[in-house]
Structures are given as structure tokens and as C-alpha cells.
Amino acid sequence: MGALKFQFGDAGKRNGKRFYPRKVAVFQHNGNFVVCDRGNGRSRMQIFSKCCTYMFKISIRFMDIVTGLAVTAKGHIVAVDRVSPTVFVISEEGMLLHCFDCSVFVREPSDIAIRDNVFYLCDMKAHGVAVFKDSGEFLYRIGNERVSCYPTGIDISSGFIIGDLLIGDTHGYCIHVTCYGSDGVFKSVFEFPQLNVSRCCGLKITSEGYVVTLAKNNHQVLVMDLLYV
């Protein structure tokens, strides 16, 4: 358990280097990586091959701080700006396809998950998830401060129970994972009191059903078994 498979990247601001990396996502059709870090400005986006070779940089001068990053089934990059809450959809080649302002519905985005043509945006300050069509049309909201307080990660299951939405938070120095069905109806909350953590970043579900998150201030990768996912 916990064996490192591989790593890549050297520290630096030049192209091909990493300077305080924030987000990473993978293109499912070719295995390439998209990585967002600080670079020479506030945010930089770079593409690396599945062999970890630097390919090119995508200009994102229109973004301040990337707080959410995902890749759609079509291979489009979806990035969320935290400073001025906006969702940007970018082609794999780096062309801006479209964007929409979500600041009316999202106070402070912290992560994003995508299912079909629907975007799920974690909102730390509103203690929940705002749901949008990929066109930018607001649909509905999930969660509240009683069950998803200051959420920092989100993912959608694809295993035994397909389509469940899992939202992670660490209020009260404890990891909570709140589960909603594909219809947005609350199902359950999982709590891990044995883990004392102050801040987690992101949340992903593996193909085996494990839930993975990063404990930022504890300098740890946490893997939790929710059994049913």
C-alpha cells in the first residue's frame, strides 16, 4: 500500500517545469496530462504526454487562479477560476471554446466534476455544489452547511453504483464524505474520526471504489474504503 508508481517534473518557472502545481487532469483517450501551476504569473497550463514529456503551454491570461480542472469525454479541458468565478472550456489544442460567469450562483469554487453535459461545482463558502449545464445554465444546488460544510473535493462514481456524487470536506478537523444519488437526493455521510486533518484538497474515486484525497497540511495522501461505491 502506498507504493509510488512514478513521478515527473522538476521545479522551475520555465516551460516544462512545475512551480507550485495546483491541479492535474488526464485525457482519457490518449493518457496525456494537463497540469496547472503558478508559472511566471498567477496561473499556467501545460500539456504533457502520457510518457511525461513536455508538449506545449496553453495561454490562460484570462484566468487568475485555477481552482477546478477536469477533462470532458470529448477531450475538452474545463478550468474554473477562483478569483472571478468563471468556467472556461478549452480545446485540447488550447483554443478557448466558450466560458460562462457563475459568480451569481457560486461564491468560492473549490473543485469540479463532470457527468455527460453537466458540471458540478464545489462552493466552499456556500457549503454545497452548484449544478450547471455545459452551456452555463444553472440547474439546481446540492448540499448545505449541516452535511457538506466547506467542501473541497468532488467526484462521481462509475463502479457498482454508477452516478453517485461524493463531496469531501474537513470541517471540525475530520474528513467527511457526503453521498448524493444521481438525482441529487441525499443518501449518506461517511466520517473518519481517526484521521485528524485540517485541510484536504480534491477528491477522486478509483476504479476499485477507494476514495483518495490529499491532506495538504499533513503532507499525506489519504485512501479510504467506502465499500459500496
Tell me which CATH code domain 104-229 carries: 2.120.10.30
Residues 58/47, Cβ–Cβ less than 8 Å: yes
Taking only the tens place, the pLDDT of each residue in 117-148 is: 999 999 999 999 999 999 999 999 998 888 88
d(CA 229, CA 227): 6
Q: Cβ atoms within 10 A of the Cβ of 95, count?
A: 10
- Alpha-carbon distance 181 to 174, whole Å? 23
> How far is 4 from 83, CA to CA, in rounded Å?
34
The domains of the chain are located at 1-101, 104-229
pLDDT in the model for residue 220:
75
Grid cell digits, residue 11:
521545479
Q: Give the fold, CATH level 3, of 1-101.
A: Thrombin, subunit H (2.40.10)
Question: Cell 448524493 maps to which residue?
Answer: 180
More confident residue, 3 or 120: 120
pTM: 0.90
- The Cα–Cα gap between 14 and 170 comes to 35
pLDDT (tens digit per residue) in 73-104: 999 999 999 999 999 999 999 999 999 999 99
